[in-house]
Amino acid sequence: MKRLKCKWIPIILVLIFVLAQLPAQELFRAGINVPEPKLVKKVEIEYPDIIKHWFMGNGPVVLDISINEQGFVTDMEERSYDASGLDAVKAAVKQWRFSPTIVAGNAVPVTATLIAVFSLSYNPYTIDLGTKASLLKLPPGNWCVFPATLTHDGQFKEEQDSRSMAMRDVVSGEVKSMSIKEHCGEQAVKQYTLIPESDAPFSIIESKMQSPEPHTLYSLASSRYAFPLHHSTIAHSKPGLVRLYYSTILPSNGSQLIQLAGVDSEVMPPQFDIDFNHLAGSFKNSHHKDGAIYFFTIFVDEKDSVLGVEYRDEYSDTKNENEMVIEALSNATVLAPGTRNGKPVPTAVIVAIPVK
């Protein structure tokens, strides 16, 4: 190997010095003047067991992600998050790939805000299927709910409950540890969190949820499916509403950075004739700051009919805007129903309406 001649050494040193003084490339922020990066490779976000089994922490995870010129995620910073879902989101997102973001003809690094929604579709009230989804008042002390799996062939398996609690004897003062099942004892009504396996057929899950079983109550815990009730948070409900739906999400602004975790990737949302900009504008006049996102669920059957709209109680402070949006969503024209592998299916569409 030939040695460098001495006359080249000063030139190389000067180049190294000049390169070291160059400012780092500007990191652009996705927004009005910078296009949002387009997702070209997605790894689905898996539900952690602690959320899936016990409904602990089903809040959203909000991250600021940095994407380089080649479209790889290079950094993630938590803005707000539910700790139960944070690791699952990070594990998936670090494997995502975006198309390069082009500004003035050049690929540039960009930061963007990602919102991963952990919205388990479980019944907010325990229901008595023997009375077709009516609410049931339980006897005092019967508050224990146990997880159970529904397998691909329809087998119902009560899972082992490893939870325990400490109880102090009021007479002796002795503290005794016991399992939740021991504490609950024999119950007049059995209550289960029904967790379908990912390969459990849709028809079997629906049949299980709709079958009347005396003294047996179910809550559906599934990110893939929704099973609505006739309760105070569903507006404009129509006959046929109480059934099983595939869960999916539809950001009103078309953003790929608002994701619903744990859904069936083969399910495509319905197409609606809705002026989402007008709906977002109605919330902009409320006291909420820019950046708020409102979520509504539209239940649509496979024949393109809207059967009901679900809203959240925490929107009570924007009641007028809320009612206007619900009315618009309830009367929306469905241009095409949701599909799975190209075939029409009933869908519970979580509509995300960002306010900017």
Please compute the mean of the pLDDT values over residues 292-302 and round it to a whole number. Answer: 87
Query: What is the rounded distance in angstroms from the CA atom of residue 269 to the CA atom of residue 250?
Result: 7
- The answer to which of 2-16, 201-215, 280-294 has the lowest mean pLDDT is 2-16
The Cβ of residue 52 has, within 10 Å, a number of other Cβ atoms equal to 22
pTM score of the predicted model: 0.76
Domain boundaries, the chain: 26-117, 144-221, 226-354
Q: Which of 159-168, 255-264, 298-307 has the lowest mean pLDDT?
A: 159-168
pLDDT per residue over 186-197, tens digit each? 666 677 778 888
Superfamily of domain 26-117: TonB (3.30.2420.10)
In this predicted model, what pLDDT tens digit does every residue of 159-185 receive, in sequence order? Answer: 766 556 565 665 666 777 766 666 666
Name which of 217, 295, 193, 210 is nearest 244 in CA terms.
210
Coil vs helix vs strand at 76: strand
* Average of per-residue pLDDT across 12-30: 56
Q: Which amino acid is at 179?
A: S
Q: What is the average pLDDT value for the chain, to the nearest integer? A: 76
Largest Cα span, the chain: 94
From CA 214, how far away is CA 209, in angstroms rounded?
13
Q: What are phi and psi of 326, to 5 degrees?
A: -60, -45
- Contact at 8 Å (CB) between 187 and 144? yes
286 within 8 A of 350, measured Cβ to Cβ: no
